[in-house]
Amino acid sequence: MHFLLFYEVTADYVERRAEYRNEHLRLAWESWARGELILGGALTEPVDGAVLLFKADSASIVEAFAKKDPYVRNGLVTSWRVRQWMTVAGDLAATPVRPV
């Protein structure tokens, strides 16, 4: 299954993230190495959030990631939510559906 992790961030996120960025990136790359995180990054123009795409058996893996994230723990992320994403098209689709 695919899950999206949505972050909303503080207005001063760009200025404050440097202190926590290495720890955040380490967490992300470790998740990627386990085959969980597929893609992640900040939204731009404006920088007001981020989206991370996971492949996992349950939302609890994604929730655990967010709870460990230094951006969340240190208040740079004002809110976060996890949504299951039913992917149907593309090479990485979890449940591919092709036209008949």
Q: How far apart are CA 13 and CA 5, in angstroms?
A: 17
pTM given for the model:
0.94
Per DSSP bridges, beta strands 77-85 and 49-55 are unpaired
In this structure, how many other beta carbons lie within 10 angstroms of the beta carbon of residue 50? 22
Query: Helix 59-68 vs helix 18-33: angle between axes, to the nearest 10 degrees?
Result: 150
Mean pLDDT, consecutive 10-residue stretches, the chain (100 aa), reads: 97 95 98 98 95 97 98 98 97 94
Q: Are 37 and 51 in contact (CB under 8 A)?
A: no
Cβ-count burial of 96 within 10 angstroms (0-12 exposed, 13-18 middle, 19+ buried)?
exposed
Residue 25 has a pLDDT of 98
Six-digit token string for 65: 């990631």
| 8-state DSSP, 80 | E
User: Domains in the chain and their CATH numbers?
Assistant: 2-85 (3.30.70.1060)
